[in-house]
Chain A
Amino acid sequence: MYATSSRRSPPGSISMEASTLQAFRDRDAAAVRAMYREYGKLVYAVAHRFLGRHDLAEDAVQQTFVRAWQSAHRIDVDRDPAPWLATIAKHVAIDIYRREARRPTTALTDVMTRDRTDVNVSPEALDAVWHVRRAIDELPIDEATVVRLQHIDGLTQREISDQLGVALGTIKSRSHRAHRKLAGLLGHLRERTHE
């Protein structure tokens, strides 16, 4: 329905066509869906990094898109909307953090110990989350699975081979291909995704 483009983008990034952004600016419902499908997971990842909880992160995504919609007239159709959305997402996450901190039944310590709310997360860490998540989403699922098992579960290639029942050579190839793509982020990881 609406197109994406790789123009004005660092490696591994996705940008929307100006026509889609104009449609969002004009408050076209289909453009909201296109915007969510392009940026929803990225906003979720940033909110999750900030708030550390699935339910709060989803709340943040919802509020981020509502605020974006309400201020759609401010969107610059000639620029990547990622910094604009990331800024809204961060402000929303801060508001949610403060809201949760005020809840008598959900003390701040509760929010922080359930997972790991981190209001002091650095801007460069948020930028990195945004860029890496975008790159991961572009990997084929079999490559992403190997990378996740390596970096999240800390498994060796031999262990992944055993766990998935896939030949070790295949795992090595997938791992190498995936990491070669991810290495394309090096040098761009700190590029600003927020204003």
Chain B
Amino acid sequence: MSERGHLTKREREALIAGAGAASGGMTGGEADDLPLLAETLADPSVWAQPSVALEYVVLRAVMSAKPAAFAPVTSIGPVQPAARRRGAPRHWRALSAAAAAVAVIAITAGITMTRRHEQPDFESRLAATALAPGAGASADIYRAKGGFRVELEARGLPHLADGQYYEAWLKNPAGTTVPIGTFSSGDGSSGDGSSGGGRVTLWSGVSPKEFSSLSISIEATDNDQRPSGRRVLVGDTRPA
């Protein structure tokens, strides 16, 4: 190998082969792989590094995704009633309504009983900014398997135009901002342009203890992953 000057492909192969021989020599199959290994080691893609923030971006995207059996993020606003089906016999409708009512009561009671025993680990009260003077929100934050579940109750958020959405963030004192989820303004827009409010579930991979500043901002569906700075709600987390 030359002491000066750029290495040739043959010299780079010799580096590998020499080391391989030192550990017992090469078989025919190993020798066949030698040029491919040297070529791949010289491929910049093998050495390219994703940004540190990509982990958060991926987690956020996954948590916001909606597979058929799992939808962790709900949109704020009341659910629109389904269109009434025509032609169903009246007594079947009555029976269905009764069964649905029983189911709703049972589920609500179950949720209430479950939630009653679940105390949040952190809480936050969010105040409106000038961008949404009529808005307000509170958040209960629970330790969960693999992170923190943030139950956000918001009211009075402006109804957003197409291509916009709300995004929640946690920030630490050093200024590092971590996205914890996105949601839409839903269809609960009232006459003054604000939504009816509602509950949304978000997920955080960082602790609200260190990342103690919670905010909600308006974002656009572009490729810019950074906060827009258009914050509508701001607050601090504290142990519950």
Chain A interface residues (CB < 8 Å from chain B)? 1, 27-33, 36-37, 40-41, 44-46, 48-49, 52, 54-55, 57-59, 61-63, 65-66, 69-73, 124-125, 128-129, 132-133, 136, 147-148, 150-152, 154-159, 175-176, 178-180, 182-190
Contacts and interface: CB of A to CB of B under 8 A. Distances in A.
Contacts of B65: 66, 69-70
Interface of B: 1-7, 12, 15-20, 22-23, 26-27, 29-31, 33-34, 36-51, 54-55, 57-59, 61-63, 65, 67-70, 144-147, 203, 205, 223
Given A1-B146, A29-B203, A190-B33, A183 B16 contact: yes
A40 B55 CA distance: 8
Given A29-B59, A55-B223, A136-B46, A187 B40 contact: no
B3 A156 contact: yes
Given A29-B63, A129-B43, A186-B33, A154 B55 contact: no
Contacts, number: 182
Interface centre among B3, B20, B50, B205 (most CB of A within 10 A): B50
Given A29-B63, A189-B37, A41 B50 contact: yes
Contacts of B43: 49, 129
Contact of A183 (B23, B42, B45): B23
Contact of B70 (A27, A30, A57, A63): A27
A54 B48 contact: yes
